[in-house]
Chain A
Amino acid sequence: MSTETNTIEELANQEYKWGFVTDIEADEAPKGLSEGTVRFISEKKKEPEWLLEWRLKAFRHWLTMTEPRWPNVRYSLIDYQDIIYYSAPKPKKELKSLSEVDPELLKTYEKLGISLQEQERLSGVAVDAVFDSVSVATTFREKLMELGIVFCSFSEAVQHHPDLVRKHLGSVVPANDNFFAALNSAVFSDGSFCYIPKGVRCPMELSTYFRINAANTGQFERTLIVAEADSYVSYLEGCTAPMRDKNQLHAAVVELIAAGDNAQIKYSTVQNWYPGDKEGRGGIYNFVTKRGKCIGKNSKISWTQVETGSAITWKYPSVLLQGDDSVGEFYSVAVVNNYQQADTGTKMIHIGKNTRSTIVSKGISAGRGQNSYRGLVNVKKGATNARNFSQCDSLLLGDKCGAHTFPYIEVKNTTSKVEHEASTSKIGEDQIFYCKQRGLSTEDAVNLIVNGFCKEVFRELPMEFAVEAQKLLGVSLEGSVG
């Protein structure tokens, strides 16, 4: 085997340089899951009766379900009685300055281009009065309030906007939709709620706010975003900075509702959770249900995701294209390294007339990682002139990793047009040698090639995020960090 392949392997064998932070004091529920646990959580959150009932119904249904085994991922069965389902995070011990933070972590922040101020926040350093995150957040919120935009934690929404929550909760992902969605519905801890009224264009990416506030959202996160007619919102979830988390199982649910005509929701995710060590021990299981519904005519929902973390990823951000002329998009970059496994893709369900969907999936496999694209394009009988274009590309680094594609296409309407393109390529020694001959290091060469491969997805990300995502990819695939 040549040096280049070896180098690629070295790059692929990079270790997650930061461990877990476990010394969090918490107000916890007893271990295990029962109706008692569900009631405990609901009570802790002072929820109204209807929501408790909703949770209990979900729980009872969950009891009748079995964990799905169809995804192309391998892991031992999860003991659901061995999990703590509610744990109110208490602030970590405050550090006085960045000099007390693990230097490796700081190096990573620097590589990702995260500002000093934000580095302090992420690593739990007390911030000075000028940059007090709470006040910044409050300023944002006030600005949004003036426009009638509601943006708050899910718990707050339940208290202050119960009608909105009640109307939309579970309307896209029903509580009994699947095993993990049912589990989430029963025990979700918190999450985000966002409401954009008619005719309002949200003036900022809902990112800065999120990044300042939602460091601890817990393992069963619930997000609900509703956009009324002629409104627009761009929402950024996650963070390129490495996420430490003591919970192994994450089962989130995200529901997007483009409720009125011309409503647009753009949802971008960067996920960088602990992927486990080099031998595949530990790491987060990320079993997420994300789905959007385009109800309004000419409405649009666009998912963009960059997934580099987690030991196992299992998620299919989907769009139900109900309104005539509505548009669904899915742009994805999924990176697996070492023993990481990802089974991810999308579902585009064409119901209305002239509905259009675009799927661009870029899978990158390194180390012994296994990457699967699983997608469904379903054109219902009434979806006259529906259009879909799918493109699934896989890039392999090294020769011990795998890429798999499972595209499903179901078409019931003869006027529709569905296109699917797929490719699998290996980073060639030729490409790396060519770059090196021009003076670039191996790491820079791999970076350049991988980023080129992902370009179509990155350009869908909001600018600031795209730059970070590119750097993140570099860090994820870099061999000798630091």
Chain B
Amino acid sequence: MLEIRDLHARIGTTEILNGITLSVNAGEVHAIMGPNGSGKSTLAQVLAGRDTYEVTNGSVLYNGKDLLDMDPEERAREGLFLAFQYPVEIPGVSNTYFLKSALNAIRKHRGLDDLDAVEFLQLVKEKMRLVQLDETLLSRPVNEGFSGGEKKRNEIFHMAVLEPKLAILDETDSGLDIDALRIVADGVNKLRRKDNAVIVVTHYQRLLNYIVPDFVHVMVDGHIAKSGGKELALTLEERGYDWLKEDVEPMSVHA
């Protein structure tokens, strides 16, 4: 589904991604961990098409297509979804209206008719239960005045409605209390299918107790320093990231 090869990206003159190589297949859950500033969120943003970052080298194939050649909205319509670390407020635009516009834009791209108001409402009601979203958040402006937890839950709600093929969750666990964490993770688990994949970007092992990954990758200084199974996350919980930094120091000299 996703083939990242030797991906380099920078912001201004600062290199942030230094050669990422990663394969994600349908049905898999990958966790990307790493210390602050290691480039985890940058990777998520670059995959979603944020142009603050300049891709200087490497390639990304998404379902056989050149992902880097697509506009952000095209990526979204092709089924790539980013749950934002900091969801954005759009005053005056109701959450439902926003979501309906988004869903219909995606459906149009896939040659489907718009959902009418009734069909859409049914879909929304069903998906709302998945993340136990308060109904009042539907009619309120997108993310405006939402609590931190509500914003994160709303992201997963968007994901549930838009049914992406590849979902990237960028620190969706940050700022969530344990109950909210469980609800969000439950929602994500219910959305897991054989034909979709999830990349979970996180600082902490905590979330991975609920969303159990098939693979864990540790990013340090803009590349993947170590990959392994779900037990790697536990090792990190015990030992932290420093041992990996020492490990990779000689490598970055080579680079």
Measured CB to CB, the residues of A under 8 A from B are 2-4, 428-431, 433-442, 444, 448-449, 451-456
| Among A3, A4, A452, contact of B90 (Cβ-Cβ < 8 Å) | A452
Q: Which residues of A contact B99 (CB under 8 A)?
A: 438
Q: In the docked arrangement, what's the CA distance between A444 and B141, Å?
A: 17
* Interface contact B162-A438, CB-CB below 8 Å: yes
| B40 contacts the other chain (CB 8 A) | no
How far does the Cβ of B222 sit from chain A's closest Cβ, in whole Å? 21
B77 contacts which chain A residues (CB < 8 A)? 439
Q: Is there an interface contact between A437 and B48, defined as CB atoms closer than 8 Å?
A: yes
Inter-chain contact B73/A441, CB cutoff 8 Å: yes
Instruction: List 7 tightest A-B contacts by C-beta distance, closest first.
Output: A452-B92, A452-B93, A438-B102, A455-B92, A434-B88, A439-B76, A436-B72
Question: A18 CA to B128 CA in the complex, in Å?
Answer: 47
Number of interface residues of B (CB under 8 A): 32
With both beta carbons as reference points, the residue of chain B lying nearest to A395 in the complex is identified as: B91
Contact B158 A4 (CB under 8 A): no
| B125 part of interface (Cβ distance < 8 Å) | no
* Cβ < 8 Å to A, chain B residues 136-162: 141, 158, 162
B33-57: CB near A (< 8 Å → 1, else 0) gives 0000000000000001111100000
Cα A438 to Cα B73 in complex, Å, equals 7
Question: B: which residues have CB within 8 A of A?
Answer: 48-52, 71-73, 75-77, 81-82, 84, 87-93, 98-99, 101-103, 105-106, 109, 141, 158, 162
A353→B99 CA distance, assembly (Å): 47
Residues of B within 8 A of A449 (CB): 90, 93
Besides the known contacts A431-B89, A438-B162, 20 further A-B residue pairs in the complex with CB atoms under 8 A apart = A2-B51, A430-B88, A433-B48, A433-B50, A434-B88, A436-B73, A436-B76, A437-B76, A438-B98, A438-B102, A438-B158, A440-B102, A441-B73, A448-B93, A449-B93, A451-B92, A452-B92, A452-B93, A452-B141, A453-B92
Asked, given contacts A434-B84, A452-B92, A452-B93, whether A3 binds B51 with beta carbons under 8 Å apart, the answer is: yes
Q: How far is the CA of A398 from the CA of B174 in the complex (A)?
A: 32
Question: Are A448 and B98 closer than 8 Å at their CB atoms?
Answer: yes
Assess whether B92 is in contact with A439, with CB atoms less than 8 Å apart. Answer: no
Known A-B contacts A434-B90, A439-B73, A448-B98; the reply to A4 vs B51 at CB < 8 A is yes
Known: A2-B51, A3-B51, A448-B98. A440 touches B92 (CB 8 A): no
Question: Could you show 30 A-B contacts with beta carbons less than 8 Å apart?
Answer: A2-B51, A3-B51, A430-B88, A433-B88, A434-B90, A436-B73, A437-B48, A437-B72, A437-B75, A437-B76, A437-B81, A437-B82, A438-B76, A438-B98, A438-B158, A438-B162, A439-B76, A439-B105, A439-B106, A440-B73, A440-B102, A441-B105, A442-B73, A444-B101, A448-B98, A449-B93, A452-B90, A452-B92, A455-B93, A456-B92
